[in-house]
């Protein structure tokens, strides 16, 4: 878990540097090697590592617009993910998706810039697993700012009524862009949403990877054993702005300072030291993570840019063999076929 967390943190520190290249002095969002928005998840690593430790490649994970820590913990190919973020041809989606639309079918990972969008597909994956008699599970990550979205609430209902193997994980970082959570909902915490749908809801109120691991052990185990869904909420901390370039004028300085002090990585290091892991082993894990990140970034920057003509490819699904547009086809009755 520590290795994933350190990889995610260092990865984002490096992306931050790469992202800023060429964007100054007036912040030009389209300039530099990483054009477009970039939402960093530094301070949220425990929520990814603690849950994804329990998952296999066959399990599905959906994440929102702040996805890197979760993608890393789910085992998404770091080189192709980085190439995607840099908009290169060999990226996971040929450079067309960017950092908010990473998709890796090898480990069943997807994310989206649309808030709570990942909940219905996770429920679909869980329904598919149940119908096929497989013991795989699905996990949908969302921010606390998404807990009133219809897609999330309808997903809770369907998951509960069909007893589906899905775990919803709310990452509560206190903010939805500039909106503090207590201005948009009256519930004390997001896990309370579970009550209205008759499924277990649990909150881990500190961003401690071990505490998350224990809560997720129960939730994922419950799903895998065919005992239905769980809603988990984890308190995390947004160490940075909502996205790169966010001046955070709305945020009290003390809040930002507190977020930096409550560092799940420092906490994990103390946990490891208390468990008798020596400093050199911790350093080794850290070095290995850094090397992996540098290698991925170097590889990605060497990859070719997509051909502009490729923009028209993969936009529509190729129709199945034998399919003809409705306007040209005769009816099923005339052909005797079943369409």
Ligand X SMILES: Cc1ncc(C[n+]2csc(CCOP(=O)(O)OP(=O)(O)O)c2C)c(N)n1
Which residues of this chain interact with ligand X, rule CB under 6 A? 65-66, 113-115, 143-146, 173, 175-177, 242
Q: Which is nearer to Mg ion, 39 or 222 (CB)?
A: 39
Q: Which is nearer to ligand X, 64 or 201 (CB)?
A: 64
Q: How far does Cα 308 stand from its chain's mean position?
A: 28
Q: Which is nearer to Mg ion, 65 or 79 (CB)?
A: 65
Binding partner of residue 153 among ligand X, Mg ion, none, CB cut-off 5 to 8 Å per kind: none
Least Cβ distance, residue 269 to ligand X (angstroms): 24
Q: Which residue's beta carbon is nearest to the bound Mg ion?
A: 143
Least Cβ distance, residue 268 to ligand X (angstroms): 21
Note whether 241 binds Mg ion by CB under 5 A: no
Note whether 143 binds Mg ion by CB under 5 A: yes
Which tokens go with 1? 């878990």
**Residue 43 CB neighbours (<10 A):** 24
d(CA 11, CA 7): 6
Q: What are phi and psi of 165, to 5 degrees?
A: -80, 75
Looking at residues 74 to 103 of the shown chain, list those that interact with Mg ion (rule: CB under 5 A).
none
Least Cβ distance, residue 143 to ligand X (angstroms): 2
Q: Which helix (H) or strand (E) holds 286?
A: helix 279-302
Position of tokens 């909150």? 203
Least Cβ distance, residue 181 to Mg ion (angstroms): 7
Q: Which helix (H) or strand (E) holds 203?
A: strand 201-204
* C-alpha radius of gyration, the chain, whole number: 21
Least Cβ distance, residue 129 to ligand X (angstroms): 26
Q: Which is nearer to ligand X, 146 or 285 (CB)?
A: 146
Long-range pairs for 292-299: beta carbons < 8 A, 24 or more residues apart: 292/7, 292/78, 293/7, 293/10, 293/11, 293/14, 293/78, 294/14, 295/79, 296/11, 296/78, 296/79, 296/81, 296/82, 297/14, 297/15, 297/18, 297/82, 299/79, 299/82, 299/83
Least Cβ distance, residue 116 to Mg ion (angstroms): 12
- The answer to whether 8 and 72 have CB atoms below 8 angstroms apart is yes
Q: Which residue's beta carbon is nearest to the bound ligand X?
A: 143
Q: Which is nearer to Mg ion, 33 or 151 (CB)?
A: 151
Least Cβ distance, residue 1 to Mg ion (angstroms): 22
Note whether 145 binds Mg ion by CB under 5 A: yes
Residues in the chain: 339
Note whether 33 binds Mg ion by CB under 5 A: no
Q: Which is nearer to ligand X, 114 or 210 (CB)?
A: 114
Looking at residues 165 to 184 of the shown chain, list those that interact with Mg ion (rule: CB under 5 A).
173, 176
Site residues for Mg ion per CB under 5 A: 143-145, 173, 176
């Amino acid at each position: 878990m520590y290795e994933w967390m350190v990889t995610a943190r260092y990865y984002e520190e490096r992306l931050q540097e790469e992202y800023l290249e060429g964007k100054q002095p007036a912040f030009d969002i389209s300039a530099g090697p990483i054009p477009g928005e970039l939402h960093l998840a530094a301070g949220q690593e425990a929520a990814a590592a603690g849950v994804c430790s329990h998952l296999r490649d066959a399990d599905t994970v959906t994440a929102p617009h702040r996805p890197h820590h979760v993608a890393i913990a789910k085992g998404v190919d770091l080189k192709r993910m980085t190439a995607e973020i840099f908009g290169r041809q060999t990226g996971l989606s040929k450079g067309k998706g960017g950092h908010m639309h990473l998709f890796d079918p090898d480990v069943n990972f997807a994310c989206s810039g649309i808030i709570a969008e990942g909940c219905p597909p996770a429920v679909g994956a869980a329904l598919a697993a149940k119908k096929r008699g497989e013991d795989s599970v699905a996990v949908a990550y969302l921010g606390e700012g998404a807990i009133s979205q219809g897609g999330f609430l309808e997903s809770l209902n369907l998951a509960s009524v069909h007893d589906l193997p899905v775990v919803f994980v709310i990452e509560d970082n206190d903010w939805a862009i500039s909106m503090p959570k207590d201005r948009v909902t009256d519930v004390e915490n997001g896990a309370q949403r579970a009550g209205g749908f008759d499924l277990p809801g649990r909150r881990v109120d500190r961003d401690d990877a071990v505490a998350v691991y224990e809560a997720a052990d129960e939730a994922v185990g419950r799903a895998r054993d065919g005992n239905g869904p769980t809603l988990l909420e984890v308190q995390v901390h947004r160490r940075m702005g909502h996205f790169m370039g966010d001046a955070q004028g709305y945020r009290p300085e003390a809040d930002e300072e507190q977020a930096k002090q409550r560092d799940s990585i420092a906490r994990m290091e103390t946990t490891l030291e208390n468990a008798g892991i020596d400093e050199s082993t911790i350093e080794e894990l850290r070095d290995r993570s850094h090397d992996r990140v540098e290698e991925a970034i170097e590889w990605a920057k060497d990859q070719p840019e997509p051909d502009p003509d490729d923009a028209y490819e993969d936009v529509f699904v190729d129709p199945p063999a034998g399919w003809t547009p409705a306007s040209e086809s005769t009816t099923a009755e005339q052909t005797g076929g079943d369409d």
